């Protein structure tokens, strides 16, 4: 089916107090796993390609076109989202390629410059029918200001959205990027306070560090889009390691990548059901 616009999906989820999973694809097999997992959960998917993944491949187009093909063949709505793009030209390329959502990350800029460039990105993307996500400051784990202990001020968040016109906002509430353990302490009262002030859906980055019970509470507290990457990479890589260790004679990549892809798909389905208890098969 055609690529989906994230705005009605996120708006409906926010109104119902549900979460939408946003998962990153670095390899073709990751994209296949994400779509398979979402189809099993019978739920919309936000499939993300980060600027880091673009650098790994050397350009955006090859992986983007593969993900576009996967989305078009999917049985559920799929949003293709450019994640953490600091390069405005990369944002423009994503729009030209057909992405329906981008995150412009101006968090390393000073506040005034961040707002100004974000406004420019919003104007360009909205003219093309593309949704825009942004953030006030960098989420932890990348030497940014959102290290554990730093928090987004609800008033600042409200003003940033009003100043820029973004469609959703990533906020700092206690998570950190690239966490290998699921023990982040999320400030749920702050989530609720920001949600009460901000008119657009909120986004939680660094969600790999959040356990299932807290993920569910984060959503009911007011978070809507939940980004998970490292946790799924761990799941994928663990299966590859186990498969190679169990049979050192294996040389065909399909023999160890396929089971890793299947395990990742299963975890995507499970996470979607944690975030959205109304998804088919979710626990009551």
Please give the positions annotated as active site.
83
**Which residues are CB-contacts of 127 (< 8 A; sequence separation ≥ 6)?**
none
Torsion angle (degrees, nearest 10) of CA 58, 203, 271, 176? 70
**Which residues are CB-contacts of 163 (< 8 A; sequence separation ≥ 6)?**
115, 119
SS3 17: coil
| CB atoms near residue 49 (< 10 Å) | 26
Cα distances from 29 to residues 17, 36, 214, 256, in angstroms, run 31, 10, 29, 11
**Alpha carbons 18 and 222: distance in angstroms, whole number:** 9
Greatest pairwise CA separation for the chain in angstroms: 59
Do the Cβ atoms of 224 and 10 come closer than 8 Å? yes
**Alpha carbons 19 and 79: distance in angstroms, whole number:** 15
Do the Cβ atoms of 25 and 229 come closer than 8 Å? no
């Amino acid at each position: 089916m055609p690529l989906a616009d994230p705005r009605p999906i996120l708006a409906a989820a926010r109104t119902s107090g549900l979460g939408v999973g946003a998962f990153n694809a670095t390899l073709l097999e990751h994209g296949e796993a994400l779509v398979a997992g979402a189809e099993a959960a019978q739920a919309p998917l936000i499939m993300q390609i980060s600027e880091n993944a673009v650098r790994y491949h050397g350009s955006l187009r090859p992986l983007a076109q593969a993900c576009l093909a996967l989305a078009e063949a999917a049985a559920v709505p799929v949003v293709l989202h450019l994640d953490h793009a600091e390069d405005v030209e990369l944002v423009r390329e994503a729009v030209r390629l057909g992405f329906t959502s981008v995150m412009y990350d101006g968090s390393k800029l000073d506040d005034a410059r961040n707002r100004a460039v974000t406004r420019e990105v919003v104007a360009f993307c909205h003219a093309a029918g593309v949704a825009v996500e942004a953030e006030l400051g960098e989420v932890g784990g990348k030497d940014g200001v959102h290290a554990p202990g730093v928090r987004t001020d609800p008033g600042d968040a409200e003003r940033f959205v009003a100043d820029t016109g973004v469609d959703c906002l990533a906020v700092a509430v206690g998570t950190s990027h690239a966490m290998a353990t699921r023990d982040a302490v999320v400030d749920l009262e702050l989530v609720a306070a920001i949600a009460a002030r901000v008119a657009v859906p909120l986004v939680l980055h660094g969600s790999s560090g959040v356990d299932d019970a807290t993920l569910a509470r984060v959503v009911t507290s007011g978070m809507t889009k939940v980004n998970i990457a490292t946790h799924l990479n761990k799941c994928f890589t663990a299966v590859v390691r186990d498969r190679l260790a169990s049979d050192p004679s294996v040389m065909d990549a399909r023999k160890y990548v396929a089971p890793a892809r299947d395990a990742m798909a299963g975890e995507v389905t499970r996470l979607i059901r944690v975030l959205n208890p109304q998804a088919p098969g979710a626990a009551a």
